[in-house]
Structure 1
Amino acid sequence: MDLSSISDDLAEINGQITDIFRALSNGFQKLEKIKDVNRQSRQLEELTDKMRECKRLIKEFDREVKDIEGRNDPETNKMLSEKKQSMVKELNSYVALKKQHQTNLENNKRVDLFDGPNEGFAEDNVLLASSMTNQQLMDSGNRMMDETDQAIERSKQVVHETINVGTETAAVLKAQTEQMSRIVNELDSIHFSIKKASQLVREIGRQVATDKCIMAMLFLIVVGVIAIIIVKLVNPNNKDIRDIPGLAPPAMARRLLSNPR
């Protein structure tokens, strides 16, 4: 059915969408022949812009269909609905194909870091959206969902391992902090003990010096007494030591000498 007989706006929008689908098909065919990674990336950006524009036009087509739905017979409305669903399906096929190319492009960029790019997409990439069946689209979508789930699981595992490493690191840091605290306390105790020992050494030194002075004085006194005793024994008539207690001659002897009979 010619859409221009229903609505000129619908016919114009349908023509624009058809042109975009043709450009997308040619663009993906061109992308298959490009080997340079940077050029592939630019080509994908251009195709992505075209798909955004196509999505906008499909929404505009849907709004126009709803506006004239009351004026059309059920058969025409059914045909327009199927036309819109066909547009959505074809656009989704290009979106899926774009995601496949994007994944393959990212793998090619990481080829130097890993063993090589992921295999399995080369055969899929050759399929054009216009020739892909519903089953192929569903398989492609399921495969992409599986890959996404696997990537999420890997991310969860990395996060889990990171948390474990962080926990172990925190425990080690805590143990080291406690050990450093004990070392500081022990150093403070050692410093206090050294200071106390220094004070005791000074006190003992002063005490020893005092004891030496006392001993020296006692030694001098003993030597003086011994010297006096020796002098008295040697010269008992020495008057200089006569009056020293214990060394003077007895009183009877003195009377005998002073009063003889």
Structure 2
Amino acid sequence: MVSEALAEIEGQIQDIFRALSNGFQKLEKIKDSTRRSRQLEELTDKMRECKRLIKDYDRELKDSDYKNDPSTNKILNEKKQSMIKELNSYVALKKQYSSSLEHKRVDLFEGPGEGFAEDNVLLASNMTNQQLMDHGNNMMDETDQAIDRAQKVVHETINVGTETSAALKAQTEQMSRIVNELDSIHFSIKKASKLVKEIGRQVATDRCIMALLFLIVVGVLAVIIVKIVNPNNKDIRDIPGLAPPAPARKLLWISD
């Protein structure tokens, strides 16, 4: 029975092998030497990771050796050898591409040698005047075409710079609008906070007035109740409207 750790490591190794296969197929289609070199570096990193995983696989295999039967250990060791062999094939392929890249770089940096210059001299000496003029015209045409290509590149660069500048300007204006909106929101929040405080004060004042009116009403009701219960109470005689009615005065008539 294969342990989960071995199965997981084997799955990761197989994923890297698939990535290496696809990467080398992609490398075949890349013509630019810089991109090829970058792709080769990425593949080299994957091979290093694969080598580390194979070491982990071997370590885990040794740790679980006593748990497995001999036939299972034999199969697992054969898998390990197969993975090592496959990794070595990719390493050899990487060396082959690296060597090819180095040769191209040497040719690129060395440029035309002395022998090439001598061939050109011998070729020019064997040309007629008309052939020399035609050759010179061709070189001038090639130079003009190179200049035209360079001008196109410059114009494209200027256009890209203009578009980038316009985009940056639009983004700057948008950021400015956002800042103004944030300032407006902050001002509105501040104003709302003041309004809430004023409303709170007004409510507090209204509550005080209502409490005072309530106390007055309660006091009046208390006096009325007391007057009804004890109409002869002297303490409330002097209160206007609550004192007992004055006795009716009798008019004395003096008869002749």
- Following superposition of structure 1 onto structure 2, how do residues 136-155 of structure 1 map, counting pairs within 5 Å? 136-155=131-150
Query: Which residue in 2 is equivalent to 1:232?
Result: 227
The AA in structure 1 aligned to 2:238 is D
What is the rounded CA distance, in whole Å, between the counterparts of 2:199 and 2:165 in structure 1?
Answer: 51
Unaligned runs of 5+ in 1: 1-34, 48-93, 99-126, 257-261
What is the rounded CA distance, in whole Å, between the counterparts of 1:245 and 1:191 in structure 2?
Answer: 59
Matched, 1:41 2:111: yes
* Residue 145 (structure 1) shift: 0.7
What is the rounded CA distance, in whole Å, between the counterparts of 1:229 and 1:41 in structure 2?
Answer: 123
Matched, 1:180 2:250: no
Please report the TM-score for the alignment, with normalisation by the length of structure 1.
0.50
The AA in structure 1 aligned to 2:120 is L
Q: Paired residues, what number?
A: 146
* Residue 46 (structure 1) shift: 10
C-alpha distance after superposition, 1:71-115 (max 9, x if no partner)? xxxxxxxxxxxxxxxxxxxxxxx7x937xxxxxxxxxxxxxxxxx
Matched, 1:169 2:192: no
- Following superposition of structure 1 onto structure 2, how do residues 12-161 of structure 1 map, counting pairs within 5 Å? 37=107, 41=111, 43-44=113-114, 97=120, 128-161=123-156
Matched, 1:190 2:185: yes
The AA in structure 1 aligned to 2:213 is L
Q: Which SS does the other structure have where 1:252 is aligned?
A: coil
Work out which of the two has the higher radius of gyration on C-alpha atoms and give 1 or 2: 1
Structure 1 segments (4+ residues) deviating >4 Å: 44-47
Q: Which SS does the other structure have where 2:111 is aligned?
A: helix
* Residue 235 (structure 1) shift: 1.4
Q: Which SS does the other structure have where 2:247 is aligned?
A: helix
The AA in structure 2 aligned to 1:238 is N
CA distance 1:44–1:199, change in 2 (3 Å): farther
CA RMSD of aligned residues (A): 2.9
Kindly, what percent of the aligned residue pairs are identical?
A: 77
* Residue 167 (structure 1) shift: 1.4
Please report the TM-score for the alignment, with normalisation by the length of structure 2.
0.51
